[in-house]
Amino acid sequence: MEPSRVRLTVPDSVDMTLLLGPADSLLRRLEEATTAAVTVRGNAVGLTGEPAEVNRMVGVFSRMIEDVTRGNPPTTADVELLLEQSALGDVPPSSLADDVLLTYRGRAIRPKTAGQAAYIHAIRAHTVTFAIGPAGTGKTYLAMAMAVAALKRRDVGRIVLARPVVEAGESLGYLPGTLEEKLDPYVRPLYDALFDMTDMEKGNALIEQGVIEIAPLAFMRGRTFNDAFVILDEAQNTTPEQMKMFLTRLGFGSTFVVTGDLTQHDLGGRNGLAQAREVLGGIDDIAFCDLSRADIVRHTLVGKIVDAYENFAPQEV
């Protein structure tokens, strides 16, 4: 088979240093990750090799050029993600969606995969959205970003973050400390996401004022949430009764987001998240978003771990 040759002309407005990385570090990483020959001359990138591999790298370089043009120069982590995505299929365009939120550090939070973009769109278009997928797909993080953005726009008056408290061999009541200290390990991931978007001092102030409430699912019975953005995290650990109780807390002007990973449930018996799809799948204004291996945006090793567990078949003893 004749090798394929492609020449990409980088627009003059694109700083090649931002595109290729400090001391060409991003270019070196791309060269390591492909069997195609990569040459850079001025503002032109040449690719030579097997057609499939050349097309793959054209997609990666095109996305990187687009990112620099939009004012978001790629980092090493971004390049690793693009390489993963290109190996699994098409590289999603940079303009998947507008920025969801600017953090207090000035960093833009936006969807990085087609699945994440569909998830963001579903939250914007529906009152209740379910996000189901493996670890690292941004289910909780993007929901939190949407919640903080809605609060900043004054679309909602408060944010409520809920998690089921699933005990692993210990009774919660026998753990040392106050109720807040007992619950802290269960809601810590929600705090981590929140403080990544707002500085800790402001986040704590909003929590003290009741504008942001973090509570275990069991404490939500009998309440109604109006003008609120409510997130139920780790919903695979709910029972059907708990899921019904949570969803019926919905009030006027509110948005509910339910996230979970059906492969990581710690609760025996019937699963509230799995049953919700069967019961609610045909109702208007309720969306179900399935995120997959292709949507994992954590360390590239996370994707390999997910694959390994999915492919593992325990031997019969």
Q: What is the pLDDT of residues 153-206, one digit of tens each?
A: 999 999 999 888 765 444 445 555 665 666 666 677 778 888 888 888 888 899
- Reported confidence tier of residue 84, pLDDT bands at 50, 70, 90: confident
Question: Whole-angstrom Cα distance, residue 141 to residue 146?
Answer: 9
Percentages helix, strand, coil for the chain (3-state, rounded to 5) are 45, 15, 35
Give the pLDDT confidence of 298-317 residue by residue, as tens digits: 666 776 787 788 777 665 54
The token pair at 254 is 């509110």
pLDDT tens for residues 258-281? Answer: 999 988 776 666 789 999 999 998
Which amino acid appears at position 12 of this protein?
D
What b/e readout covers 30-65, taking b as 16+ CB neighbours within 10 angstroms? beebbebebeeeeeebebebeeebbbbbbbbbebbb
What's the CATH superfamily of 4-88?
K Homology domain, type 1 (3.30.1370.10)
Residue 215 confidence (pLDDT): 79
The tokens of 92 are what? 């999603």
CATH of domain 101-311: 3.40.50.300
Per-domain residue ranges of the chain: 4-88, 101-311
- What confidence category does residue 91 fall into, taking pLDDT thresholds of 50, 70 and 90? low
Strand (E) or helix (H) holding 193: helix 179-197
pTM of the model: 0.71
CB burial of residue 9 (10 Å; 0-12, 13-18, 19+)? exposed
